[in-house]
Structure 1
C-alpha cells in the first residue's frame, strides 16, 4: 500500500507520520500542490534498502566481470562474500 500525504502533514503530524513509517517499513510520499514532492522513511528501512542496493550492485558487477572473462572466485571466496553481505543486511535491520 502506498502512503501519500500532503506536505503540510509533516509539520502538523510529524509523530504520526514517523510512526506510520516505522510500523509499515514503507516510505511515505509527500505531495505539494497535488504533485509529488518528498519521500520520508524510517532510518532502519532506509539502511536495509541501501544494503540491498549495494548487494545488487556488487552482484551485477561480478556478473559483468564474469561475462567479460575476468578471473572468477572459488566456492570458499563466494561463500565468504555472501555471508558478509547477509551480515551487512542483517546488521542494517538491527540498527
Structure 2
C-alpha cells in the first residue's frame, strides 16, 4: 500500500519521512491541497529505479535488433573473440 503524506507532513516530519524512505526503499507520495504532487524517495532507490529503466532500454534494443535481423551467429562471434584474444 502506498505511503501518502501531505506537504505539511513533509515540512513538519521530514526526518520521519526520510527514515521511512531509507528503511523501506519505496517512495512516499506527497499531496498538496489534497491532490498528488510529488513522489519522494531515497537516492539509492532512485538510482536503482533509473538503472532498471536503462536496463529495460538496452533489452528492448536487443529485441529490436533480433526482430530486424541485426544479429550474427554465435559461432562467428565466438571465433572473432577468440581470434582477438589470441586463443584459437
TM-score bracket, shorter-length normalisation: 0.7 to 0.9
| Unmatched runs of 5 consecutive residues or more in structure 2 | 79-88
1:30 aligns with 2:33: no
| Alignment match, 2:42 | 42
| Unmatched runs of 5 consecutive residues or more in structure 1 | 78-95
The whole-number CA distance in structure 2 between the counterparts of 1:27 and 1:46 is 9
Deviation at 1:71, TM superposition (A): 2.5
SS at match of 2:53: helix
Counting matched residue pairs gives 77
| Alignment match, 1:66 | 66
Q: What TM-score do the two structures reach when normalised by structure 2?
A: 0.79
The whole-number CA distance in structure 2 between the counterparts of 1:73 and 1:15 is 55
**Which aligned segments of 4 or more residues in structure 1 are displaced greater than 2 angstroms?**
71-77
Residues 66 and 72, structure 1, Cα contact 8 Å, conserved in 2 = no
The whole-number CA distance in structure 1 between the counterparts of 2:21 and 2:42 is 5
Q: What TM-score do the two structures reach when normalised by structure 1?
A: 0.73
The whole-number CA distance in structure 1 between the counterparts of 2:72 and 2:49 is 27
The whole-number CA distance in structure 1 between the counterparts of 2:37 and 2:73 is 44
Structure scoring higher RCO (CA < 8 A, sep ≥ 6) equals 1
Q: CA RMSD of the aligned region, Å? A: 2.0
